[in-house]
Chains A and B, each alone.
Chain A
Amino acid sequence: MRLYEYMGKDLFRTYGIPVPQGVVATSPAAAELAGMKPPVVLKAQILSGKRGKGGGILFAATPQEIKVAAERLFTAPINGYSVNRVLIEERLDIARELYLAITVNRSLQAPVILASAQGGMDIEEVPAEAILTRPLEVAIGLPSYVAREVASFLALPSDLRPEFAALLQNLYRLFREKDAELVEINPLVITAAGQLVAADAKVIIDDDALFRHPELVRVEEVSEAEAKARQYDLAYVELDGNIGVLANGAGITMATLDTLQYYGGRARNFLDIGGGASVEKVAAALEIIFASRPKALFINIFGGITRCDDVATALVEVKKRHGLPVPVVIRMVGTNEEEGVRILRANGLEAYTRMEEAAQKVVEIAESAA
């Protein structure tokens, strides 16, 4: 779950990481009345990258300009996101911009600090040799000698180093205590007055750990269908093709999408019912897919924990209840295959055993319907 910048900064504040003075406004009128003294910066609170380039960050030198800027931000969507909140902050007098982040390195199975003296720009554009990558051992944490290593790499003035060490250690504490996948400060500003300030905050919390963080406000930016899928613990992603897909297992669902593409088709969605799905769960999955109005549906089941007869029963139930709005091509093998096929046949449905054969068939149907 990615947090809005203002939420990330609230966390920073709680953890003693300095952030600019600011207020959140929910309307242009509120922005005007927020009492922030110009010069200020107004930042649209959306979860999109490249916010500056999209016109989501505006500067204002007078109260009148604050009003105009706020109206602009609230009126038009930015990078396709509508704006419900604007963060208004004091404008910093910037001497240097650094990059600082903590995330998880998969290969090392460990947290890693990323730091660069070239902050403020997209870290993608910073050459690799200008980025320090310092792995951490969770059993040890982030001792001050690691902070000193990072400070040296960034060539920080010696009077700033104790402050920097405290900031980095606090950032690590936040990363661990809040189950973050990523905490990123870009830029970490050194002001003309020689102070460290986190000018931005990007915090992503591990979805699998949300159960132990009731204190965190939930950020939901998903479609209705995705919300329903989540409720049934289905992995669902909307795509832009016209063939609905239902499969069991993330890897095979991906391979199903790839196979459709190989034969010239395009999937309307990714939907993984997971292992051991019940009849109700499969029925909910079918409803979600049908609601997205595909031209055809491809069901690809390789039964292991998931039983073919359960999937067949769910399909037949949905058929009886609402009818099947589009042609359905089924491939079904594995656990309780014969029983599954028998249930389908008794209800006028056929199943393939070979995935590529079934994929070609459904691509053909979708094409002729398009």
Chain B
Amino acid sequence: MAIIIDNDTTVLVQGITGYQGRFHTEQMLKYGTRVVAGTSPGKGGQEVAGVPVYDTVREAAQRHRPVASILFVPAQLGKEAALEALEAGIKLLVIISEHIPLHDSLEIMSFARARGAMVLGPNTFGVISSGRSKIGIMPNQFFQPGPVGVVSRSGTLGYEIVGAMRAAGLGTSTVVGMGGDRVVGLNFMDILREFEQDPETEAIVLIGEIGGTAEEEAAAFIKEKVSKPVVAYIAGASAPPGKRMGHAGAIIERGRGTYAAKVAALRAAGVKVAELPQEVPSLLKKVLR
């Protein structure tokens, strides 16, 4: 089964004719993703890697019925692109773009809730159900099928840990990027709930970072609702308060969202917390038996 996406998920690429859109469309096709159409205003009628390009999402949606859309559009146009997709009936939006204004994200999330659609990101690497399909920008070679579900706020750190797992012989069911922005769509709880129900996922890896309270909320949820073993790594143990560490989310403010608070909450929920990214595979092996 895997979660969120599967072999038959049909995908639209918004911004398909740009450098990133073009490259990642090819990469997604290589991985087996059913990319059915793309959009790029003024480029309708062209093709990218054999995928037809349209001027509007509505047109593409009418002809190809994509369920999901991935956005490779400049941040300033992100809101319009997202609203266009949601209005055309897209049910899963993967927003790769970073630096989307905060208030634009608020409007996207509000409209997505009204439409009953899922949003990943902004500033996410996407989602990949190993060996089946991916909607995202992650390097293909690291994602081999296996029993571990992974959810990560950050991209490269997610690859690092999935890479270390693969080197230790541990594959993944689905790997989900939540996105590094302050306001993102799906949160840890939404994804943990899916993994808990997924028969192919036997253990879960949660990769968080300082700032906000998402990890604390996840810990409370795990305690109540998750029976599968969870291993976590939290980035930012050494970060000084008040400095924003790259991700808009990664800042300790008003004493909230500290490393210590997150680790304590997770441990109290029975989660094994790795001190280094490379410890994740050995902790997983202990809980997987």
Whether A258 sits at the interface, judged by CB under 8 Å, is yes
Do A254 and B236 touch across chains, with their CB atoms under 8 A apart? yes
A208-B100, A237-B245, A334-B139 as given contacts; A254 in contact with B239, CB under 8 Å: yes
A47 CA / B63 CA spacing, docked (Å)? 54
Contact mask for chain B residues 248-275; partner A; CB cutoff 8 A; 1 contact, 0 none: 1110001100000000000000000001
Interface centre among A235, A251, A253, A304 (most CB of B within 10 A): A251
**Complex interface residues of chain B between 82 and 121 (CB less than 8 A to chain A):** 99-107, 109-111, 113-114
In the bound complex, CA of A333 to CA of B20 (Å): 21
Residues from chain B with a CB closer than 8 A to the CB of A111 are 106
Residue B38 CB within 8 A of the other chain: no
Q: Does the CB pair B103–A139 fall under 8 Å?
A: no
Assembly CA distance A305 to B248 (angstroms): 20
Residue from B114, B233, B254 in contact with A139 in the complex, judged by beta carbons closer than 8 Å: B114
A106 touches B214 (CB 8 A): yes
Set A206, A212, A252, A303: member contacting B154, Cβ < 8 A = A252
A57-65, A66-74, A259-267: which lies at the interface: A259-267
Whether B207 contacts A251 by the Cβ 8 Å rule is: yes
Cα distance, A247 to B159, chains bound together (Å):
14
Cα–Cα, bound, A248→B254 (Å): 28
Q: Taking the complex as formed, is B69 at the interface, i.e. its CB lies under 8 A from any CB of chain A?
A: no
Main secondary structure of the interface of A (DSSP, over half): mixed
Stretch at the interface among B179-187, B198-206, B224-232: B179-187
Query: What are the interface flags for B129-142 relative to A under an 8 Å C-beta threshold, 1 for contact and 0 otherwise?
Result: 00000000111000
Q: Is the CB–CB distance between A235 and B246 below 8 Å?
A: yes
Nearest B residue (CB) for A175? B103
B contact residues around A237 at 8 Å (CB): 243-245
**Interface residue? A257 (CB, 8 A):** yes
A247: chain B residues at CB < 8 Å are 156
Q: Considering the complex, which residues of chain B in the window 157-203 have a beta carbon less than 8 Å from any beta carbon of chain A?
A: 157-160, 163, 180, 182-185, 187
Give chain B residues whose Cβ lies under 8 Å from the Cβ of A239.
Answer: 240, 243
Tell me whether A339 is interfacial, beta carbon within 8 Å. no
Contact between chains at B156 and A251 (CB < 8 Å): yes
Give the distance to chain A from B78, nearest Cβ to Cβ, in Å. 10
CA of A261 to CA of B75, assembled, Å: 35
Interface residue? B46 (CB, 8 A): no
Whether A272 contacts B278 by the Cβ 8 Å rule is no
A181 to B114, CA, bound (A): 23
Asked whether A76 is an interface residue with its Cβ less than 8 Å from the other chain, the reply is: no
CB contact under 8 A between A251 and B106, given known A106-B214, A237-B245: no
Which residues of A lie under 8 Å from residue B182 when comparing CB positions?
Answer: 104, 106
A residues in contact with B244, CB < 8 Å: 237
Q: Within 8 Å CB of A208, what residues of B?
A: 75, 99-102, 248
Interface residues on B, range: 35 or more
- Chain B residues with Cβ below 8 Å from A106 are 182-183, 212-214, 249
A252 touches B214 (CB 8 A): no
Chain B residue numbers with a CB within 8 Å of A325 are none
Q: A208-B99, A254-B235 are in contact. Are A107 and B187 (CB under 8 A)?
A: yes
- By the criterion CB–CB under 8 Å, are A251 and B154 in contact? yes
Contacts of A139 in B (CB 8 A): 110-111, 114
Q: Kindly state whether residue B238 has any CB partner on chain A within 8 Å.
A: yes
CA distance A248 to B160 in the complex (A): 11
* Cα–Cα distance between A183 and B214 once the two chains are bound (Å): 23
> Within 8 Å of chain A (Cβ to Cβ): is B34?
no
CA distance A104 to B253 in the complex (A): 13
- A248 adjacent to B156 (CB under 8 Å): yes
- B160 surroundings in chain A (CB, below 8 A): 252, 255, 302, 355
Find chain A residues with CB under 8 A from B111 CB. 139
CB distance from B19 to the nearest CB of A (A): 9
| Known A-B contacts A255-B157, A304-B137; A104 and B277 likewise in contact (beta carbons under 8 Å) | no
Task: Name the residue of chain A whose CB is nearest to the CB of B208.
Answer: A251
Top 6 closest pairs, chain A to chain B, by CB: A251-B154, A249-B156, A250-B246, A251-B157, A209-B101, A235-B246
A-B contact pairs, 8 of them (CB 8 A): A107-B213, A251-B157, A255-B233, A258-B237, A261-B237, A272-B246, A275-B137, A275-B156
Residues of A within 8 A of B (CB): 104, 106-107, 109-111, 124, 137-139, 176, 179, 181, 206, 208-209, 211-212, 235, 237, 239, 247-255, 257-262, 266-267, 270, 272, 275-276, 302-305, 333-335, 354-356
15 new A-B contacts, CB < 8 A, other than A107-B212, A258-B235, are A106-B182, A109-B110, A109-B113, A206-B102, A209-B101, A237-B243, A239-B243, A249-B154, A250-B245, A258-B236, A259-B276, A262-B276, A270-B245, A302-B163, A303-B139
